[in-house]
């Protein structure tokens, strides 16, 4: 037993909170995506912690799927960023108001 | 590794992960941000290693740090953001964002606090009881058997998701008049 079981979950909680803060507060769209990656990593930490605590490999399998989905999200999201940047240079989200009514 | 050294390593990794995440989401320069988040990913890989998830640690280093983050860095360099340093980095609502992050973290933290009343105990004591009952598993062999046994269908679906993402990224990033 390396750490008490709650410690891993607490670390995951703190990392997730940092990710939420970054996603909501930053105005650069790429840094918002990076904050989302921080949140996904926090979830992976808690999944692996549960996997070790419960002695069950399924937590690690779920973490693998999370990584696969994160890769897909990065691909589509950055494709969107490049497409947006072609219409309107810059990466600030405050300029993207075409969908507002 | 002795138990004390392992514990000290774990707490170092946890502290360094929290610090690099905090610095990473607050830097002004996007490239500096990416490098701090890279430090976060590597420390999370170390935590995986300490939690008996060797395969996942390798995947974290290769896929997250090696592929996804480099992809982000390439896009930052591709976009050429000259005014990024001059603009304010937070929106006007950053205090609300900080409150939301704090409350999310607090909620998730409360889920693991051990209650004195065993009837209303959180997740952590239950996990400890189950862990005491069975031998630890989680080697690469077990992951492979789970991945290609009960998780075979989700595993194949992950490849479909990635294929859809590849096609979507190509369609989105292609120039409008470029089809010939």
* A27-82 pLDDT per residue, tens: 888 888 999 999 999 999 999 988 888 888 888 899 999 999 999 999 998 888 88
Please give the Cα distance from B68 to B81 (Å, whole number): 20
Q: Is A88 near chain B, with CB under 8 Å?
A: no
Q: Is B89 within 8 Å of A70 when comparing Cβ atoms?
A: no
Q: Which residues pair with B90 in a beta bridge?
A: A26
Mean pLDDT of chain B: 79
Number of domains in chain B: 2
Domain span at residue B24? 1-81
Task: Indicate the domain borders of chain A.
Answer: 5-88
Give the C-alpha separation, A31 to A17, whole Å. 15
Question: pLDDT at position A43, please?
Answer: 94
Q: Among B56, B81, B106, where does a domain finish?
A: B81
| Six-digit token string for B136 | 């630890």
Give me the total of CB pairs closer than 8 Å, taking one residue from chain A and one from chain B. Answer: 272
> Which residue's entry shows tokens 């294929």?
B163
Residue, of B176 and B9, whose pLDDT is higher: B9
pTM reported for the whole predicted model: 0.81
Give the count of alpha carbons within 13 A of B51, CB side only: 35
> Looking at the predicted structure, is the pLDDT value of residue A101 above 70?
no
CB contact under 8 A, B40 and A25: no
Place of tokens 């009881």: B129
Tell whether A47 is within 8 A of chain B (Cβ): no
**Cα distance from A67 to chain B (closest Cα, Å)?**
8
A84 in contact with B at a CB cutoff of 8 Å?
Answer: no
Nearest residue to B37 (alpha-carbon basis) of A2, A50, A26? A26
Residue B133, in any domain of the structure: no
Residue B117 included in any domain: no
Q: Do B172 and A53 touch (CB under 8 A)?
A: no
A92's CB contacts (< 8 A; 6+ apart) are A27, A28, A29, B87
Note whether residue B125 is domain-resident: no
Beta bridge partners of A30: none
| Mean pLDDT, residues B109-138 | 54
Q: Which has more confidence, B170 or A4? A: B170
Instruction: Give me the CATH number covering residue B51.
Output: 1.20.120.1200
Measured from the Cβ of residue A63, the count of other Cβ atoms closer than 10 Å reads: 27
One domain, residues B71 and B144: no
Q: Where are the beta strands (DSSP E) in B42-129?
A: none
pLDDT of residue B2: 66
Nearest to A99 by CA among A89, A90, A88: A88
B17 contacts in chain A (CB < 8 Å): 11, 15
Question: What is the interface pTM, i.e. ipTM, of the complex?
Answer: 0.89
Contact A53, B134 (CB under 8 A): no
* H-run or E-run covering B85: none
Quick one: closest CA in A to B164, which residue?
A: A72
- Say whether B19 sits in a helix, a strand or coil: helix
| pLDDT for residue B180 | 46
Asked if residue B73 is part of any domain, the answer here is yes
CA angle A45, A25, A14 (to 5 degrees): 25
Pick the CATH number of A5-88 from 3.40.50.170, 1.10.287.3510, 3.40.50.9100, 3.40.50.720: 1.10.287.3510
> Is residue B29 situated within a structural domain?
yes
Name chain A contacts of B94, Cβ cutoff 8 Å: 24-25
For B115-127, what is each residue's pLDDT tens digit? 555 444 445 555 5
Residues B76 and B1 in one domain: yes
A 25-44 residues with CB below 8 A of B? 25-28, 30-31, 33-35, 37-38, 41, 44
Among B16, B49, B81, the domain-final residue is: B81
Token pair 């990913």 is at which residue? B41
Which residues 101-140 of B are in CB contact (within 8 Å) with A? 101-102, 104-109, 111-114, 122-125, 127-128, 130-131, 134-139
- Specify whether B76 is located in the same domain as B143: no
Question: How far is C-alpha B2 from the geometric centre of its chain's CA atoms?
Answer: 27
Instruction: Average the pLDDT over B123-150 and give the result.
Output: 66
Which of B4, B15, B43, B109 to mutate to test binding with chain A, by most A CBs within 10 Å of its CB? B109
Calculate the dihedral angle through the C-alpha atoms of A85, B82, B74, B158, rounding to the nearest 10 degrees. Answer: -40
Domain membership flag for residue B107? no
With beta carbons less than 8 A apart as the criterion, state whether B124 and A5 touch. yes
Our separate counts of H helices and E strands in chain A read 3, 0
Share of chain B above pLDDT 70, in %: 73
């Amino acid at each position: 037993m390396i750490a008490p079981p709650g410690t891993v979950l607490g670390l995951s909680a703190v990392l997730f909170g940092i990710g939420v803060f970054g996603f909501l507060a930053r105005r650069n769209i790429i840094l918002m995506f990076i904050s989302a990656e921080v949140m996904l990593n926090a979830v992976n930490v808690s999944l692996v912690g549960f996997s070790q605590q419960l002695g069950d490999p399924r937590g690690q399998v779920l973490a693998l799927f999370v990584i696969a989905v994160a890769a897909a999200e990065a691909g589509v999201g950055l494709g969107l960023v490049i497409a947006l940047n072609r219409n309107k240079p810059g990466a600030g989200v405050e300029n993207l108001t075409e969908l507002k009514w | 590794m002795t138990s004390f050294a392992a514990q000290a390593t774990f707490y170092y990794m946890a502290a360094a992960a929290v610090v690099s995440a905090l610095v990473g989401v607050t830097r002004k320069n996007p490239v500096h941000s990416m490098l701090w988040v890279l430090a976060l990913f590597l420390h999370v890989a170390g935590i995986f290693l300490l939690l008996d998830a060797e395969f996942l640690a390798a995947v974290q280093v290769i896929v997250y740090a090696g592929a996804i983050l480099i992809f982000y860095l390439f896009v930052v360099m591709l976009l050429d953001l000259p005014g990024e340093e001059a603009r304010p980095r937070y929106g006007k609502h950053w205090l609300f964002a900080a409150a939301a992050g704090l409350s999310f973290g607090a909620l998730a933290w409360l889920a693991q606090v051990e209650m004195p009343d065993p009837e209303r105990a959180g997740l952590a004591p239950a996990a400890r009881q189950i862990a005491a009952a069975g031998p630890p598993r989680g080697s690469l062999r077990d992951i492979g058997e789970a991945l290609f046994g009960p998780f075979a269908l989700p595993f194949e679906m992950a490849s479909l998701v990635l294929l859809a993402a590849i096609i979507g990224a190509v369609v989105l990033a292609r120039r409008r008049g470029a089809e010939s």
